[in-house]
Structure 1
C-alpha cells in the first residue's frame, strides 16, 4: 500500500511538471507579440491629436468595438481635420454632431480587414496578390444605409437593391425580376488614390484633381483627404491618419435625387423604378421599429446598364456577382443638366410631342439613359476613349462636364449637353423617332436582320427607303405580340382588308426581307439623290433601281407599278432617308419568266438566248425554272445573255446547234444528246453562281459559273467592273462587254445582262 501511494505521488509530480511545461509553451505561442500596438481606440487616445475623433467614437458607441477585437483599417481624421469639418458644416464642435452623424463618420472610416498602404491598391482575386497588383481604388466600409422609413404613397418603406434588377425577355417583351440578396447590407465603398493605382491605370494626379480641385494629391489620398501618417499597426488592425473628415459618399441615386440641376433626368430615371416587397427586410424593420408596413426593395429597370442605387458592382447583363469586384470596378454616368436635357429632348422627340412620357416607346427612354451609362470608371484622361454601355465613345468632351464627382458606387459627370446616341443621330433614328414608322423600327430592331448594327455605324454612309406604318398596313401587314407561338410569329399578313391575318413564319421572312431591301449600301456617299438613274445593292442582297425619283424592285417589275418618294430626311450624321409610298416587294417568279419578258421587250438582245434556254433540257417550261438556279436567301446569280448577233456567232463557231453557215437558229428543239449537251454547257457557263453583279464599279473578280468540268470543278469567268460597263473574260481569254440599256435587269435574286459576245468555256 505504501509502495502504491509513493508511486502515485511520483506520477502526479511528474504530470504536474509536464503540464506546467506545456502551459508555458502554449502561453508563449499565443501571447501578445512584443511591440504590437494597443487596440485602435486606445492608440487614438494615447496619441493626443484625436480627441475629437475619440469623442465621436464614444458618441457612436464604437469605443468597445475599436477597443477590443476585430481586424480593421481605420482612416482616422485628426483634430485639425475635425476643426475644419466643424467650420464647413457650420456646427459647434462635438455637441453639434448628432448620434447618427457620429455613426456615419466612424463606420464610413472603418474598412473591413487590416491593410497597409502597399496592400490597398491590390485587387483581391483568386489569382493572388500579384495578379491584382495596382488595380484597386476602393474598399468596403462598415457603413450602409438601411430602410428608408419615408417612401412614397405606394411604398412607405424602401430599401435600395444590392443587385442589378434582371430583365427576362420573351419576344420583344421584357419582364423585370428582382435579384436582391437577403443578408447583404449593401455596404458603401470608400475610394482612395495611391501612386501605384494611378500608374498601373495610366492616370495622373490631374485625374485626381479633376474630382478634388481643392485637395493636394500626395500619393495616398482617401477621397478628398490626404493620409498624413500611415501604417500605424494596432492590435486589432491598421490606422491611417487623415487630414479631413469624410462623410459617407452618396450613391448615384442619392446624388441625383438631391440635386435640383438634374431633376429632369431624375424624373426619367424615376419612370423606370422597380419595386418588390421583401419579407426578410419587412420582418427586420418590424423588430427594429415596430412598424408592420411592408418594406419594398427599390431597383431600376433591368434593361438599364445598372441600378444606380446598388453599391455592389456587377458587370451589366450578367446575373453573377463577384464579391470583391467593387474594389477595382465602378459604374459611370453622365447626367445632363435640366437645360441640356430639355434641348436634346426637343431635338429627338419632335414627332412625339417633345415628351418621353406621352407616346414615346419605353425603348427610347432606356436607350437615352443607357447612352449616358458606362460599365467602367470613366476617368478624365480617357473621357473620349472609354465606350459606354452601348459601345459608343461619348460625343462630348471633358469641357462639357460642369460637375465631376466620385460617388460611393460610381463616377458622376453633370454635363451641359446630352450625349448624342447613335440610335438617335444615325439613319436608324429616323424611323425610330417617328411614330408613323414604328413597324419599320420594330423590323430594324430584329437581331436577325442585322439592320440596327449596320445603320448605327456613324462612319458608314447610308441610304434608307422607309415604308411607313400606313403603307405596310395597307399592304396587309401587322405586328401583334399575342400572335407569336411555337409555329407562328409576331408578323402577320392578310391578302385583303376583310381577310384574316396569318402569322406564318413565311410572312416574317417576307417583311424582314423588305426592310433589308430598304437599306441601300452606299458607303462612299455615292447616292445623295434619287433624281438621276442607277442601280444599288441592298442589305438583303437584292438590287433596287431608281430613275427620276421612281424606284423599282424585282416585285414592282412584275406589277409594272413603280414606287414614289414621299419625302426625305437628311438630318442624320451618316446618310439620308427617303419615305416611299409602297412596299419594297420582291418577285416570286423564276428567272425564266423574266428572260421571256425581256425577249419580248428587247428581242435583239435576248430572243435568241431565250430560244435556246426554252428548248434546253435544263429548263422547266411549266415553272420556268432553270436547273441549278435556286431561289432562297443564300442564292445569288448573274445571267450573261449574249445578244442575237453573239448567238449567231456561237452557232457558226460550233458552240451551239444551228446553221453554221448563216448562224441561224435551229428550226426545232435539239434532239440529239450532243446538241442537248451543247445547250446545257453554253447556258450554265453564262450564269455566274453566288454573286449578283451590276455596273456600279464595285464587284470585280474571278467568279464561279454553274458549269462544271469533268472533275466536278466549277469553271470561272473574270469580271472587270467599271461604272456603266462590265468586261467579262472567258476561259479562252476572249472578251465580252454589256449592252447597257437593256442590262441591269431585276429578277429573282438574279441580275440579267445583255452582252456583246458569247463566252467560250473551252481552253
Structure 2
C-alpha cells in the first residue's frame, strides 16, 4: 500500500513538472515579442502630433478597434495636415467635423493588412500571394458608400454594383443580367505611388498632372506625402502623411457631381440598369427600420464597364480576379458639355441633332464605349493606349482640361469628343443615316465582315450604299420577330402582293448585296464614276462603270444600269455613294452569258460558244458548264479566243473541224477523241478559283479546270497591268486580252476575249 502511494505521488509530481514546462513553452511562444510597438491608437496618442486624428478616431467610433485587434495599414494625417484641412474646409477644428465625415476620414485611411513601404508596390493575387513587384498602386480600404438615397422616382434607394453588368444574347437581342455579389461591400481603393512603381507606363511626371499642388517624393498617398514611414504597431503599420485624404469619388460619382459634364451624364443615365436586391433590402431595414426596396445600380452590359463598380474587371470578361484592382484601373474621357453638343450635332445631323433618342441604341453604346479605356491611361501615355473599341485616342493630352485620379479609375475631362472609328469612317455614313438602317444591320453583322474592314481609318475605301427604300422595293426586309432556330430576321418576297419568306438563302443573298457595295481598290477611293473601269467587291463580284452608269452581273441580265444619287465624302477614309437600285447579281449560269455574247459580238465569242454548245460538258437546259459551279465560294475567269484564233486552233489540230480552212464542224462531234479535244480546249481556257479583271491587281500562276490524264493540274500564267493583261500557256505562247471586248460580267465570273488560243500540250 505504501509502495502504491509513493509511486502515485512520484507520477503526480512528474506530471506537475511536465505541465509547468509546457505552460512556459506555450507562454513563450505566444507572448508579445519584445520591441513590438503599441497598437495603432496608443502609438498615435503617445507621439503627440496626432491630437486631431485621435479625436477624429474617437468620434468615428474606431478608438477601440485601433487600440486592440486587427491587422491594418493606416495612412495617418498628422496635426499639421488637419490644420491645413480645417483651413481648406473653412472649419475651426475637430468639433466641426461630423460623425459621418470622421468615419469617412478614418475608414478611407485604413487599408486591410499591414504593409511596409517596400511591400505596397507588390501585386497580390487571390489569397494574398505576392505575384509581381512594382505593379501595384492601389489598396482596398475599409471605406464603402453602401445604400444611397439617390435613385429616381422608381428606385429611391440604390447601391452601386460591385460587378459589371453582364450582357447575354437571348434570341436576337442582348439582355442585361446583374452580376452583383452579396457580401462584397464595393470598398473604395486609395492610390499611392512609390519610386519603384513603374507598371503600365507610369512616369513620375504623371503624378504632377493629377496633383499640381503636390510634389512627387517617392512615397505619396493620393495628394499627400508620407513624412514618416513604416511605424510598426502591434496591430499593423502606420505611415504618417501631411494631408487629410477624403474618400475619392468613383468615375460615376465624379461625372454626376460636375455640371460641366451634365450632357454626357444624361446620356450615361439612359443606360442605367436597376435590379432589386433582397439581401441589401433586409440589411438596410435592420440598420434603418426603413422597408423600402434597395436596388443595385449598374450600367448596360454592352458598355466596357459600369463606372460605379469599385472592383476592376477586365472588360468583356465576366470573371472577377481578387485583388486585380491593386494594379489595374479603368480610364474615361468625358467631353465637356460644349464638346458633347458639337460632336452630337456632327454625328446626328441626319437625326435632327436630337438627344440620341431617334438614333439606333447602338449609337449610344458605341459613343460611350469610345470614351472608355479598359486600362490605366497615364498622361505620359495618353496617345498610346487603346480604348474598348481597340482605338487610340484622336485627342492629345492638351485636350484634357480636367484630370482626376479617382477611386476606380482615371478621369479626363476633354474639350473635344473622341472621334470613334464607327462614326468617322465610311462605316459611319450608313450608320448615322436613318434612311440606310437595313444597310447598317448588314454591315454590323459579323457574318459579313464589313464592319471590321470599313472602320479602318487609314485604309482608303469606296462604298456603294443602297437606301432602305431601294431594298424594300426590291423585296427585302428585316423583322426580328420572324427569327427562329430555322429562320432568320432577313426576309424576301417576290412581289408586293406576295408574303415574306425568312430563311438563310435570303440572308446570304442580301449579305452578298451589301458586300458587293464594298469596293476593293488598290489605289484608294474612287473619286468619280464618270470614266470607265471595273472594280472587285468584297463579295467577289465585280462592278463596272461607264460615264456615271454602274453595272453588276445582275444588271447585265436586266439591261438596266444603276445610277449614283448622292455622294458623301465626309469620312476620314473614303467616299460613300448612294445608288438608286440594288447591286443585283445574276442567278444564271455562265453558258447563258457566253451565248448572249456570241449574239452581241459574234466575231469574238461565236465560234467558242459553238463548241461549248456542242460539247459533252454542257447542259443545254441549265446552260451550265461542267466544273463551273455557282456556289458562293467559287470564282472563275474565262479567256475566250476570237473566231480567228479558234480557226487557227482547228488548223493546228486542237479542235475538230476542217484543218485546211479552219472552218467549224458541220455537226456536233461524235467521236470520243473529238469530244475529248473540245472538252480539254474549253476547260483549259477557264481559270478555277479566281476572277481576274484588267485592273492591274492580280498576276500569278493560276490553275485551270483541266487536269491531265494522270490527274495533274494545268496552269496559266497571267501578267496583269492596268489595261494590259497577257496570258501565257504551258507552251510559252502569249495571248493579249482584247480590252474592248473583255471584263464581261457573269456569275462570279469574268469573261475576256483574246486574240490567240491557249495550248495545253
Whether TM-score is above 0.5 comes out as yes
Partner of 1:74: 74
Partner of 1:611: 610
Q: Which 10-residue stretch deviates more, 7-16 or 668-677?
A: 7-16
In structure 2, how many angstroms separate the alpha carbons of the residues matched to 1:223 and 1:366? 32
Partner of 1:89: 89
Partner of 2:65: 65
In structure 1, how many angstroms separate the alpha carbons of the residues matched to 2:46 and 2:130? 37
Partner of 2:536: 537
Partner of 1:205: 204
Q: CA deviation at 1:131?
A: 4.0
In structure 2, how many angstroms separate the alpha carbons of the residues matched to 1:135 and 1:358? 43
Q: Deviations over 1:378-429 (max 9, x none)?
A: 1111111101000000100000000000000000000000000000000000
Point out where structure 1 has 5 or more consecutive residues left out of the alignment. Answer: none
Q: Deviations over 1:97-132 (max 9, x none)?
A: 110011000000000011111111111126996741
Where does 1:132-143 land on structure 2 (aligned, <5 Å)? 132-143=132-143
DSSP 3-state at the match of 1:148:
coil
DSSP 3-state at the match of 1:728:
strand
Q: CA deviation at 1:371?
A: 0.2
- Asked whether 1:169 is paired with 2:169, we answer yes
Q: Which 10-residue stretch deviates more, 442-451 or 146-155?
A: 146-155
Where does 1:301-700 land on structure 2 (aligned, <5 Å)? 301-525=300-524, 527-700=526-699
Q: CA deviation at 1:91?
A: 1.0
In structure 2, how many angstroms separate the alpha carbons of the residues matched to 1:544 and 1:170? 38
Q: CA deviation at 1:523?
A: 4.5
In structure 2, how many angstroms separate the alpha carbons of the residues matched to 1:639 and 1:732? 19
Partner of 1:193: 193
Q: Which 10-residue stretch deviates more, 313-322 or 386-395?
A: 313-322
Q: CA deviation at 1:526?
A: 5.2
Do the aligned partners of 2:463 and 2:519 also contact (CA within 8 Å) in 1?
yes
CA RMSD of aligned residues (A): 1.1
DSSP 3-state at the match of 2:639:
strand
Do the aligned partners of 1:122 and 1:129 also contact (CA within 8 Å) in 2?
no
- Asked whether 1:119 is paired with 2:110, we answer no
Where does 1:109-258 land on structure 2 (aligned, <5 Å)? 109-125=109-125, 131-198=131-198, 200-258=199-257
DSSP 3-state at the match of 1:447:
coil
Q: CA deviation at 1:547?
A: 1.0
DSSP 3-state at the match of 1:196:
coil
Q: Which 10-residue stretch deviates more, 128-137 or 37-46?
A: 128-137
Do the aligned partners of 2:167 and 2:177 also contact (CA within 8 Å) in 1?
yes
Q: CA deviation at 1:3?
A: 3.0
In structure 1, how many angstroms separate the alpha carbons of the residues matched to 2:709 and 2:193? 74
DSSP 3-state at the match of 1:191:
strand
In structure 2, how many angstroms separate the alpha carbons of the residues matched to 1:127 and 1:44? 30
DSSP 3-state at the match of 1:449:
coil
Do the aligned partners of 1:460 and 1:523 also contact (CA within 8 Å) in 2?
no
DSSP 3-state at the match of 1:571:
coil
Partner of 2:44: 44
In structure 2, how many angstroms separate the alpha carbons of the residues matched to 1:453 and 1:669? 52
In structure 2, how many angstroms separate the alpha carbons of the residues matched to 1:123 and 1:482? 50
In structure 1, how many angstroms separate the alpha carbons of the residues matched to 2:742 and 2:193? 69
In structure 2, how many angstroms separate the alpha carbons of the residues matched to 1:564 and 1:295? 59
Partner of 1:747: 746
Point out where structure 2 has 5 or more consecutive residues left out of the alignment. Answer: none
DSSP 3-state at the match of 2:122:
coil
Q: CA deviation at 1:202?
A: 3.4
In structure 2, how many angstroms separate the alpha carbons of the residues matched to 1:527 and 1:342? 33
In structure 1, how many angstroms separate the alpha carbons of the residues matched to 2:385 and 2:204? 19
Q: Which 10-residue stretch deviates more, 245-254 or 710-719?
A: 710-719
Do the aligned partners of 2:125 and 2:322 also contact (CA within 8 Å) in 1?
no
Q: Deviations over 1:703-749 (max 9, x none)?
A: 11111123322111100001112100110001000111110000001
Do the aligned partners of 1:462 and 1:523 also contact (CA within 8 Å) in 2?
no
DSSP 3-state at the match of 2:132:
coil
DSSP 3-state at the match of 1:509:
helix
DSSP 3-state at the match of 2:501:
coil
DSSP 3-state at the match of 2:741:
coil
Q: Deviations over 1:84-106 (max 9, x none)?
A: 11111111110111100110000
Q: CA deviation at 1:151?
A: 2.4
Partner of 1:108: 108
Partner of 2:35: 35
TM-score by length of 2: 0.99
TM-score by length of 1: 0.99
- Asked whether 1:703 is paired with 2:702, we answer yes
In structure 2, how many angstroms separate the alpha carbons of the residues matched to 1:96 and 1:21? 56
Do the aligned partners of 2:525 and 2:575 also contact (CA within 8 Å) in 1?
no
DSSP 3-state at the match of 1:442:
helix
DSSP 3-state at the match of 2:353:
coil
In structure 1, how many angstroms separate the alpha carbons of the residues matched to 2:366 and 2:169? 16
Do the aligned partners of 2:201 and 2:381 also contact (CA within 8 Å) in 1?
no
In structure 1, how many angstroms separate the alpha carbons of the residues matched to 2:300 and 2:334? 17
In structure 1, how many angstroms separate the alpha carbons of the residues matched to 2:528 and 2:171? 37
In structure 2, how many angstroms separate the alpha carbons of the residues matched to 1:194 and 1:11? 62
Q: 1:632 to 1:67 in 2, by over 3 A?
A: same
Q: Deviations over 1:277-308 (max 9, x none)?
A: 11000000110111111001110011100001
DSSP 3-state at the match of 1:233:
strand
DSSP 3-state at the match of 1:145:
coil
Do the aligned partners of 1:467 and 1:583 also contact (CA within 8 Å) in 2?
yes
Q: Which 10-residue stretch deviates more, 114-123 or 167-176?
A: 167-176
Q: CA deviation at 1:194?
A: 1.3
In structure 1, how many angstroms separate the alpha carbons of the residues matched to 2:350 and 2:141? 48
Q: 1:691 to 1:150 in 2, by over 3 A?
A: closer
DSSP 3-state at the match of 2:526:
coil
In structure 2, how many angstroms separate the alpha carbons of the residues matched to 1:149 and 1:257? 14
Do the aligned partners of 2:520 and 2:535 also contact (CA within 8 Å) in 1?
yes
Q: CA deviation at 1:150?
A: 4.3
Do the aligned partners of 1:427 and 1:455 also contact (CA within 8 Å) in 2?
yes
In structure 2, how many angstroms separate the alpha carbons of the residues matched to 1:307 and 1:358? 21
In structure 1, how many angstroms separate the alpha carbons of the residues matched to 2:149 and 2:516? 57
Do the aligned partners of 2:519 and 2:537 also contact (CA within 8 Å) in 1?
yes
Do the aligned partners of 1:356 and 1:365 also contact (CA within 8 Å) in 2?
no
Q: CA deviation at 1:11?
A: 1.7
Do the aligned partners of 2:126 and 2:323 also contact (CA within 8 Å) in 1?
no
Do the aligned partners of 2:126 and 2:321 also contact (CA within 8 Å) in 1?
no
Do the aligned partners of 2:694 and 2:724 also contact (CA within 8 Å) in 1?
yes
